[in-house]
Amino acid sequence: MSDTGPADTRRRISLRTTRMEAFSDGVFAIAATLLVLDLTVPAVTSKDVGHQLAEEWPTYLAYLVSFATIGNAWLGHSVITEYLDRADPILLRLNLALLFFVSVLPFPTHMLAEYVSNEGAERIAVTVYGLNLLAISAFIAIIWHYALWQRLVTKDNTEDDVRALTKKLDPSLASYAVVIGLGLWQPKVAVVLYFIIALFMIIPFRAVLQEARRRRRS
């Protein structure tokens, strides 16, 4: 009887992590795919359609940045859950907060695409957009630090990975903060910089090195 107790608890705990992953994967996948609904097809007018499509470039760039940011958040999330041994109720709520900011991203993306031609409106849109990107990165960082603090992660290799993950999370948070400030003055440049941050985060510097180390060991 006392043996089934801990076994059942363990099953429940791992189940909780599994469901957190399944629900999160769902929200990430849907948010990433819903973005496509904002790509409007220009109506066929007397004007050249090819030209019209080319003019829509800010919509396409915003789509690309948002997709890359969500993909990126998913990658960070999967790294965290990779090391996660169990989930506690507070972690589940922090995860919900992250998912809130992921699922709301199509809204500022749409706003950005809509307001790109109007200077005043564009400034607001770019700022809201930047704050949303910052919130996503911030919650990835908060979840990771909370998991470490509460010792919810497995013990092996943690030391190395903490440093490696932090090395990416902290500069990205700082650069989002800087670009949000810059965006008030140069909104179009800010969008391009958000794209560069997304690319920088998505390129697996850490993982490539780690993989190399892993191979050398085995």
Q: Using the rule CB under 8 A, is 90 a contact of a second copy?
A: yes
Comparison of 111 and 190: residue with beta carbon closer to a second copy: 111
The correct pick among 10, 33, 184, 192 for binding a second copy (CB under 8 A) is 33
The correct pick among 96, 142, 162, 178 for binding a second copy (CB under 8 A) is 96
Q: Using the rule CB under 8 A, is 80 a contact of a second copy?
A: no
Give, as ranges, the residues between 177 and 196 that touch a second copy (CB under 8 A). Answer: none
How far is it, in rounded angstroms, from Cα 89 to Cα 190? 37
Q: Using the rule CB under 8 A, is 93 a contact of a second copy?
A: yes
Q: Using the rule CB under 8 A, is 26 a contact of a second copy?
A: yes
Two structure tokens written together for 92: 């589940």
For residues 130-169, b (16+ Cβ closer than 10 Å) or e, as one string? bbbbbbbbbbbbebbebbbeeebbeeeeeeebeebbeebb
Q: Are 134 and 98 in contact (CB under 8 A)?
A: no
Question: Which one, of 108, 128, 125, lies nearest residue 38 by Cα?
Answer: 108
Site size with a second copy, rule: CB under 8 A = 73
User: Where does this chain touch a second copy (CB under 8 A) — which range of 130-138, 139-147, 151-159, 173-181?
Assistant: 151-159
Comparison of 87 and 193: residue with beta carbon closer to a second copy: 87
CA 76 to chain CA mean position, Å: 7
